[in-house]
Structure 1
Amino acid sequence: MKGPDKRVALREAAHWYARLGADQVGADVHQQWSSWHSQDALHQWAWQQVQNLQAQLQGLPGPLAYQAMQQAGTSAALGRRTLLKGLLLGVGAGSLGLYGYREAPVWLADYRTRIGQRQRITLADGTRLILNTASAVDVRFGAEVRLVIVQAGELLIETGKDPRPFVVRSAEGDMRALGTRFTVRQREGITDLSVLEHAVAVRSKKGTDAEQVIEANQRVSFSATQLYSPTAVDPNQAQWANGHLVIDNWRLDRLLAELQRYRPGFVQCSANIAELRLSGAYPLDDTDSALAAIARALPVRIEQRTRYWVRVLPKA
């Protein structure tokens, strides 16, 4: 596939993603999208890249997303709300856009997963990694240090016994394991660390403070310049490694945003039911079953026109 052809296909895929994310979408639009998608393997490739980028950029602040979408030349007629739903997808159409910056290392990573996939890896020192959906890491073991670089997504680490320091590096800083089990999630501009056993020493990339030790059952988020105050770890936080999302009193919109990480396409609910709350366990390997369970638990219905477009609406 040639570079210019890729950029055209990515631009078209971003356009279709924005159209399918609009509040009112007719059956004719879905038919047109399906026709475009099936026309060419390049279109199918571009649509998958759009999905991967969407999963990686869920934490991007709205103003930055809007600015980047405008720079990508997305039609202003779509409106700010629809642009934000696109989550910067139009940037992939530009050769100097964020897509090029983030996606290149992801696809060259030593280990990576697709949307909805998990992967278990045992490293040379006995360390065990579990990569969550749409994740990518590089492994750099040397004589002085064992280094894992998080390019995208989320992983669970159980460190092996070895005298060399074990460090996980994100875009925002380093996390040095102190004989431990922990999870790391790379969001846009933020790293989330949850310590499940023992402790992890954290240092932000540009911060002037010394390492801060995060103890077992603590969770902390940090940027390149700042560590935020630790909070308690959700005891079910790492259940994704077993294929389950276990929640307690979550808002419906939060639950759907999390499920969207595990399926290609667009999932949302109407604003008037976003605050409905749920508890329970939902299968991550079968998100259709998870959506059906939501419809049984709440006075809502699932509207699904293609496998890539789902809305949760009030029950008629």
Structure 2
Amino acid sequence: MKWRGTSLLGDEVGLADGSTVVMDSGSAVNVDFSVNLRRLQLVKGEIYIETAPDKVGWKRSFVVDTLEGRVQALGTRFSVSQHENRTQVAVFQDAVEIQPADAMTVKQTLRAGQQAQFSANHIEPIHRHSQEKPAWTQGFIVADDLPLSEFLLQLSRYRPGYITCDPEIADLRIIGSYPLKDTDRILAFLEANLPVKLLHPLPFWVKVLPR
């Protein structure tokens, strides 16, 4: 079974075991519940999960697989995001266990208020966070010293069409919390406060250029 996040602020899906998955816009996930395992495969994008006790008579593990490895829930609320060559995990309640695809890499446990990224053979240092849920589930995009190119890539999930960023300004840093209900206003704010300008060569195509 496969689901894809289609709305601009994500879709909420109830699973057969009582767990809930919220998918960020443009995300895709495969669901595979077997006799022994509750498994999600994150194909792209980001998901937020609230796990429930298994309804069957035995306890099946709940896992999320990505290109880089596996995240196992330990009775928890958490998010998993698929990026290029890396997976990011944030825990909001209880804990998860990260196992990179390379079995020689030591597993690591993340607890509530912690987040980390991992590749197929390495887990990055753990960092703290103070969110109750991912910002996008509440209609915001949050940037904490984020490169402009990465910020625009995230913003493009929540509006039709394309946003492109000139390499000359790609490393400008973005800080702040921005409501996603009006992405045109976010772009206008960037143009007013950064040395950038917006160009609309075609409908649904925004080019962000040096000013």
Q: TM-score range by the shorter chain?
A: 0.7 to 0.9
Identity %: 37
Given the superposition, is the C-alpha separation of residues 257 and 151 from structure 1 closer, same or farther in structure 2, using an over 3 Å criterion?
closer
Alignment partners' CA distance in 1, 2:169 and 2:122: 35
Provide the residue aligned with 2:141 in structure 1: 245
Aligned with 1:182 (options 66, 71, 78): 78
Q: Tell me if 1:123 matches 2:15.
A: yes
Which letter does structure 2 place at the counterpart of 1:182?
F
Alignment partners' CA distance in 1, 2:122 and 2:183: 35
Within 5 Å, give how 1:92-241 maps onto structure 2: 110-114=2-6, 116=8, 118-162=10-54, 163-233=59-129, 235=131, 238-241=134-137
Unaligned runs of 5+ in 2: none
SS in 2 for 1:261: helix
8 Å CA contact 1:133–1:262 kept in 2: the answer is yes
Alignment partners' CA distance in 2, 1:218 and 1:145: 25
SS in 1 for 2:134: helix
8 Å CA contact 2:201–2:207 kept in 1: the answer is no
Which letter does structure 2 place at the counterpart of 1:284?
L
Unaligned runs of 5+ in 1: 1-108
8 Å CA contact 1:207–1:224 kept in 2: the answer is no
TM-score, normalized by length of structure 2?
0.83
Alignment partners' CA distance in 2, 1:132 and 1:171: 18
| Root mean square deviation, CA, Å | 2.6
Alignment partners' CA distance in 1, 2:75 and 2:118: 21
Q: Which has the higher helix share?
A: 1
The structure having more radius of gyration, on CA atoms, is 1
Given the superposition, is the C-alpha separation of residues 297 and 124 from structure 1 closer, same or farther in structure 2, using an over 3 Å criterion?
same
Alpha-carbon distance, 1:159 to partner: 0.7
Alpha-carbon distance, 1:117 to partner: 5.0
**Count of aligned pairs:** 207
More deviation in 190-199 or 287-296? 287-296
Alpha-carbon distance, 1:276 to partner: 4.2
Alignment partners' CA distance in 2, 1:169 and 1:254: 24
Provide the residue aligned with 1:297 in structure 2: 193
Alignment partners' CA distance in 1, 2:121 and 2:145: 32
Alignment partners' CA distance in 1, 2:42 and 2:174: 32
